[in-house]
Amino acid sequence: MIIHLFLYTGIYRIHYVFPLSLSPLLPSLSLLLSLLSPSSLLCLLFSPLLSLFFSPLLSYFLFFLFPLSFVFIHVRYHTTSLSERKYSLSEGKHSLSERKHSLSEGKHSLSERKHSLSEGKHS
């Protein structure tokens, strides 16, 4: 789980990514970024409000409603969960075993060709 801190302006969006261990520092980070923002008063007003609601829909609604800058804090889980990692690992093992099988089949057909070639020389 990581923390996404967004600084919205009317023109662009700045995206900050923090590890979850920095979550106690989020109010001070939010305050610092809002002071650096062009419309710091609006940032100071919306920063505590938005830190309570972790909804991207709310952030976009407020972004279009107020085209000035504000800070939005968003917490989300990464899509690569542990079960998905295990599944992709098992798929990798399966494809590796398929490659080994096709390699052994290739070796088998090569030995058959050598055998038929040696039989052709004997006759």
50-70 pLDDT, tens digit each: 555 445 555 555 555 544 444
pLDDT at 117: 74
- Asked whether the predicted pLDDT for residue 43 surpasses 60, the reply is no
Backbone angles phi, psi at 91, to 5 degrees: -65, -40
Distance CA 5, CA 32 (A): 12
